[in-house]
Amino acid sequence: MFRQPVSTRSESAMFDAVLVANRGEIAVRVITTLDRLGIPSIAVYSEADRDARHVELADDAVCIGPAPAAESYLDVAALLDAATRTGADAIHPGYGFLAENAEFARAVADAGITFVGPQPEIITAMGSKINSRRIMAEAGISTVPGLLDPVDSVDAALAAASDVGYPVAVKASGAGGGKGFRVAHTPVELPAAFEGARGEGERFFGDGTVYLERYLADPRHVEVQILGDAHGNVVHLYDRDCTIQRRHQKLVEEAPAPGLGEDFRRQVCAQAVEAARAVGYVGAGTVEGLVAASANSGSEFYFLEMNTRIQVEHGITELITGVDIVEQQLRAAAGEQLSVRQHDVRIEGHAIEVRINAENAAKGFLPAGGTITRYEEPTGPGIRVDSGVREGTRILPFYDSLLAKVLAHGATREEATARLIEALDDFVLEGPKATLLPFHRALLGTEAWASGSSAREITSDPVAFMEAVAANEAARGTPA
């Protein structure tokens, strides 16, 4: 049975008003929960987003600058001014933009406003992959084999790599979103990998610090949703599989992760809870890791990083547990206890999410622009669509290409897959030069997906995959 998140709000409102420091579907998602809880919402928008859906849905809205994100959604002074002028006593950052920026969280607190997220110190500690690995190793949490200290030169990297073992991953400590990540399979490849990771770290995150870890062959990317409050309560909401990615960014997620086994799932979730306790985590976060074969022919979960914010894919966890994660974020930020305990949380069924980006998979996921001329979201049993767009929305080059997320819940993985395929068939989205709708329809119909394997080969060569899909459809006389 499809489970909608159920409110467990106390009699007194948590906040007088909450400013949502974001845009698009996550802003709409947060505003939806605020509305259900009876908490006034305040949207912010750039000049280009004046007619955006999140602006219309909020109780109040403030323009914070021109279209470029650096002059609007990343403008801390403008955001704090908007909160002060509208009487907001809390700011929800969503994901992306300033969600994991410790200085922003500190500035919010200094302004006498509540930041809906963990303490700045935790954001700082977990924002550095080196620091977070060191903290977790000291807490007894398994980490990917590699260094707990940075390497500052190609020569140092070459010396360390012989101990780590090839292939090695070179990672920028402060990076994320697939940037600052390079793989070297041999010593010959390592100098270029080192310089590439360091350069992206400096360019995108202002931090060129890099370290080495073993590059695991074909692991599963598994993460655990955790919640914590200031009263010492920490619970997990089970796991998600996010293995299918492009450019190290997620495309398809499902919950629970297929093929873990109940005993191993309990071990993985217990490690995530211990990781959260190790840093005194308050709010919603995610412990990300890799599941790979171990020496004893079993599986091992290796800590990868902790995301100190709500995740794009949080909705599938809500579908299988019935817990509104945004509400729990607000509760924790308000100093209240979580309204759920571990014994309250159970898995019901299976949920899958696909991200509908304005991208052309047949051209290597090249971004595509345009204006949405027709837009009709699918409905039906177990179907949920999280979106920040509508008919008339212009796809702007200033922001992420995500248009909507389509989620399906079913009693089994097979039922959820069938419902999701039907929903994608029913989704009317016209106007953009390309979207990922055809790609996801094709991927969900493959044997690789049905078998629960990683389907990594599909995203590693999307052009060939989509060419094969087009050829098959042409042979059947139907358009791809």
pLDDT digits (tens, 9 = 90+) for 395-429: 999 999 999 999 999 999 999 999 999 999 999 99
Three-state SS string over 414-432 comes to HHHHHHHHHHHHHCEEECC
- The pLDDT of 8-16, averaged and rounded, is 65
Q: What mean pLDDT is reported for the chain?
A: 92
> What confidence tier does 299 reach under pLDDT thresholds 50, 70, 90?
confident
272 backbone dihedrals φ, ψ, rounded to 5°: -65, -40
Per-residue pLDDT at 121 exceeds 70: yes
Question: Is cis: bond before 145, omega within 30 of 0?
Answer: no
285 contacts 309 by C-beta, under 8 angstroms: yes
Q: Which segment of 66-75, 313-322, 440-449 scores lowest on mean pLDDT? A: 440-449
Separation between Cα atoms, residue 249 and residue 246, nearest integer Å: 5
Per-residue pLDDT at 467 exceeds 90: no
277 included as an active-site residue: no
97 backbone dihedrals φ, ψ, rounded to 5°: 45, -115
Owner of token pair 């977990």: 126
218 contacts 209 by C-beta, under 8 angstroms: no
State the pLDDT at residue 3.
Answer: 39
Q: Which segment of 71-85, 113-127, 286-300, 424-438 scores lowest on mean pLDDT? A: 286-300
Locate 384 and state its tokens.
């949920």
* DSSP annotation string for 153-168: SHHHHHHHHHHH-SSE
State the pLDDT at residue 476.
Answer: 59
Per-residue pLDDT at 12 exceeds 60: no
Nearest to 284 by CA among 318, 307, 255: 307
State the pLDDT at residue 163.
Answer: 92
Per-residue pLDDT at 11 exceeds 70: no
Per-residue pLDDT at 178 exceeds 70: yes
Cα-based angle 38, 331, 140 (whole degrees, multiple of 5): 155
Three-state SS string over the chain comes to CCCCCCCCCCCCCCCCCEEECCCHHHHHHHHHHHHHHCCCEEEEEEHHHCCCHHHHHCCEEEEEECCCHHHCCCCHHHHHHHHHHHCCCEEECCCCCCCCCHHHHHHHHHCCCEECCCCHHHHHHHHCHHHHHHHHHHCCCCECCECCCCECCHHHHHHHHHHHCCCEEEEECCCCCCCCEEEECCHHHHHHHHHHHHHHHHHHHCCCCEEEEECCCCCEEEEEEEEECCCCCEEEEEEEECCCEECCEECEEEECCCCCCHHHHHHHHHHHHHHHHHCCCCEEEEEEEEEEECCCCCEEEEEEEEECCCCCCHHHHHHHHCCCHHHHHHHHHCCCCCCCCHHHCCCCCEEEEEEEECEEHHHCCEECCEECCEEECCCCCCEEEEECCCCCCEECCCCCCEEEEEEEEECCHHHHHHHHHHHHHHCEEECCCCCCHHHHHHHCCCHHHHCCCCCHHHHHCHHHHHHHHHHHHHHHCCCC
Q: Is 211 helix (H, G, I), strand (E, B) or coil?
A: strand
245 backbone dihedrals φ, ψ, rounded to 5°: -135, 165
Per-residue pLDDT at 4 exceeds 50: no
pLDDT > 90: what percent of the chain? 79
Per-residue pLDDT at 194 exceeds 90: yes
* All domains in the chain, ordered by first residue: 18-116 (3.40.50.20), 145-214 (3.30.1490.20), 220-476 (3.30.470.20)
Q: Which segment of 134-138, 181-185, 192-196, 213-217 scores lowest on mean pLDDT? A: 213-217
In the set 198, 309, 413, 419, the catalytic residue is 309
State the pLDDT at residue 53.
Answer: 97
Burial class for 50, CB neighbours closer than 10 Å (0-12, 13-18, 19+): exposed
345 contacts 304 by C-beta, under 8 angstroms: no
Residues 6+ apart with CB under 8 A from 316: 240, 253, 254, 255, 351, 352, 353, 407, 409
> What confidence tier does 7 reach under pLDDT thresholds 50, 70, 90?
very low
Separation between Cα atoms, residue 350 and residue 408, nearest integer Å: 8
State the pLDDT at residue 9.
Answer: 43
Cα-based angle 137, 298, 147 (whole degrees, multiple of 5): 25
State the pLDDT at residue 86.
Answer: 97
Q: Which segment of 26-35, 137-146, 397-406, 418-427 scores lowest on mean pLDDT? A: 137-146
- The pLDDT of 184-193, averaged and rounded, is 96
State the pLDDT at residue 461.
Answer: 78
State the pLDDT at residue 219.
Answer: 87
Per-residue pLDDT at 137 exceeds 80: yes
Separation between Cα atoms, residue 478 and residue 480, nearest integer Å: 7
Per-residue pLDDT at 2 exceeds 60: no
Locate 422 and state its tokens.
């039907």
* CA-only gyration radius of the chain, Å: 22
State the pLDDT at residue 71.
Answer: 97
42 contacts 67 by C-beta, under 8 angstroms: no
State the pLDDT at residue 6.
Answer: 40
Higher pLDDT, 292 or 422: 422
> What confidence tier does 454 reach under pLDDT thresholds 50, 70, 90?
low
Per-residue pLDDT at 477 exceeds 60: no
State the pLDDT at residue 246.
Answer: 82
Question: Cα–Cα distances in Å, from 268 out to 190, 256, 315, 352?
Answer: 32, 12, 20, 20
Its pTM stands at: 0.91
Per-residue pLDDT at 193 exceeds 60: yes
Per-residue pLDDT at 32 exceeds 90: yes
286 contacts 405 by C-beta, under 8 angstroms: no
What does the chain come to in residues? Answer: 480
State the pLDDT at residue 459.
Answer: 72
What pLDDT digit, counting tens, does each position of 233-276 carry? 999 999 999 988 887 788 999 999 998 999 999 999 999 999 99
* Beta-bridge partner residues of 356: 404
